[in-house]
């Protein structure tokens, strides 16, 4: 039984939304960030990089306080305006490849996260949870929704489709040629129908935003303990999410690159692989695996297909059947000596269009000794991992859509 409620979003005005919206600031290179700060006074990046105004790098509480000040200035200047009544926000993204994503921006319950109604499939790092919790407590808002996914629902789909028949409140295209649309859903009957449908959904899943979800839960507990009149209905008991039906979620693979063969010769490495995989040399063929438990390997100028010998590997739970876990348990840890896949500097990750070409280029350059290509994980695998209370290895999924900051803001 999921609690998904409307809220009064703070939003940029229609004429400025395309200028305000930004990617997560960590995703910008230094030249990109500087250019946007220099030439776009409306960018949300000015809020999250308040030190730009003083040509100074800021950290911790000093930065958090100035983030809040910049945010309040955007409201005072009329760049941001808050809706008067609680609404759902129907949000659609059409990316450069023509993929479409239509979902609902809403407030979701931290208690649902605590009670495992909202399930996770990744581990979080405790110190990062607390850093972001302290940030949220100081600034008092969240500007980027967590991406959640739910089972396809005909009633919700019909409401979304009907809402999208009228002109969108927002429509803008990014430099990456992704087009974003937003509709404000304030019809009380439709709102109640959506709330009811989510109440009948037993479980929803975090697709992207595990740390933000965990931090929001920690914040709710902290503010609850400080409020003697706590009722459970306060905004801090919720966090902003973009809820997308499972059929529209797009999951890409994360491939692996390793800097060396752990002291092994090419021949010795292949012999060790042969105990677990059926190996075929594909030469210059850009071999892309298409089935679970099939892998691509690029080594010394040649591609190889690796097919898992299932008689030598036992699937004891959904995690053990996951290709990223199989690669770790059969190659990365026992042969290449990589035990800590989160922090080992010999291991790198790669994703994106034509990624096998990227792997080939990086290995041919000598930067890496070997690369591995995988097939994307399926939504049912993600759900099985979450349902068992297990967690995937780091960088198991690259999930679309990727959301922008500053389009809807949730205050608490």
Question: Nearest-CA neighbor of 348 among 265, 279, 256, 262?
Answer: 256
Does 65 share its domain with 196? yes
How many structural domains does the chain have? 2
Beta-ladder partners of 197: none
Q: What is the pTM of this model?
A: 0.93
Q: What's the confidence (pLDDT) of residue 353?
A: 65
Does 245 share its domain with 282? no
Q: Apex CA 128: angle with CA 44 and CA 379, to 5°?
A: 85
Rounded distance between C-alpha atoms, residue 219 and residue 179, angstroms:
33
Mean pLDDT by 10 residues, the chain (412 residues): 97 97 89 94 96 87 96 98 98 95 98 98 91 97 97 98 97 94 98 98 97 97 97 97 97 95 98 97 94 97 96 91 96 97 92 84 97 96 96 92 95 96
**Number of residues that make up the chain:** 412
The dihedrals phi and psi of 407, each to the nearest 5 degrees, come to -85, -45
Tell the residue number behind the tokens 């302290």, with chain if given.
134
Number of continuous H segments (helices) and E segments (strands) in the chain: 13, 21
Give Cα separations from 323 to 67, 313, 339, 381 (angstroms): 41, 12, 16, 10
Q: What's the confidence (pLDDT) of residue 78?
A: 98
Does 178 share its domain with 125? yes
Q: What's the confidence (pLDDT) of residue 88?
A: 98
Rounded distance between C-alpha atoms, residue 290 and residue 257, angstroms:
19
Does 210 share its domain with 154? yes
Does 293 share its domain with 203? no
User: Which domain range does residue 150 map to?
Assistant: 4-250+400-411
Q: What's the confidence (pLDDT) of residue 62?
A: 93
Does 179 share its domain with 292? no
Q: What's the confidence (pLDDT) of residue 354?
A: 67
What single DSSP character describes residue 22? B
| C-alpha gyration radius of the chain | 23
Pairing, β 141-142 against β 179-185: unpaired
Does 121 share its domain with 235? yes
Does 369 share its domain with 311? yes
Does 83 share its domain with 232? yes
């Amino acid at each position: 039984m999921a609690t998904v409620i409307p809220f009064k979003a703070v939003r940029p005005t229609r004429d400025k939304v395309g200028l305000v919206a930004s990617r997560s600031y960590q995703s910008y290179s230094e030249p990109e960030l500087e250019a946007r700060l220099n030439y776009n006074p409306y960018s949300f990046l000015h809020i999250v990089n308040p030190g730009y105004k003083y040509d100074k790098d800021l950290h911790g509480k000093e930065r958090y306080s100035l983030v809040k000040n910049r945010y309040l200035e955007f409201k005072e200047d009329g760049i941001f305006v808050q809706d008067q009544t609680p609404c759902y926000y129907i949000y659609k993204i059409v990316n450069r490849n023509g993929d479409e994503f239509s979902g609902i921006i809403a407030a979701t319950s931290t208690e649902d996260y605590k009670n495992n109604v909202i399930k996770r499939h990744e581990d979080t790092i405790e110190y990062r949870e607390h850093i972001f919790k302290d940030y949220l407590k100081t600034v008092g808002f969240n500007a980027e929704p967590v991406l959640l996914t739910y089972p396809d629902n005909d009633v919700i789909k019909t409401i979304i489709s009907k809402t999208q028949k009228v002109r969108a409140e927002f429509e803008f295209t990014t430099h990456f040629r992704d087009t974003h649309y937003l509709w404000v859903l304030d019809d009380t009957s439709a709102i109640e129908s959506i709330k009811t449908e989510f109440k009948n959904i037993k479980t929803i899943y975090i697709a992207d935003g595990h740390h933000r979800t965990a931090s929001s839960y920690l914040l709710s507990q902290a503010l609850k303990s400080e409020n003697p009149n706590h009722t459970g209905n306060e905004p801090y008991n919720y966090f902003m999410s973009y809820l997308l039906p499972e059929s529209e979620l797009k999951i890409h693979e994360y491939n692996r690159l390793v800097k060396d063969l752990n002291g092994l010769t090419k021949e010795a490495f292949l012999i060790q692989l042969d105990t677990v995989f059926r190996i075929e040399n594909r030469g210059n063929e850009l071999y892309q695996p298409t089935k679970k438990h099939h892998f691509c390997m690029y080594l010394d100028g040649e591609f190889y297909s690796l097919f898992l010998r299932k008689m030598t590997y036992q699937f004891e739970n959904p995690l053990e059947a996951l290709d990223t876990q199989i690669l770790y348990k059969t190659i990365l840890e026992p042969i290449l000596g990589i035990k800590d896949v989160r922090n080992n500097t010999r291991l790198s990750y790669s994703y994106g269009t034509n990624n096998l070409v990227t792997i080939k280029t990086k290995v041919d350059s000598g930067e890496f000794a070997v690369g591995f290509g995988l097939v994307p994980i399926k939504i049912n695998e993600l759900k099985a991992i979450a349902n068992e209370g297990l967690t995937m290895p780091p960088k198991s999924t690259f999930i679309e859509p990727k959301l922008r900051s500053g389009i809807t803001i949730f205050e608490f």
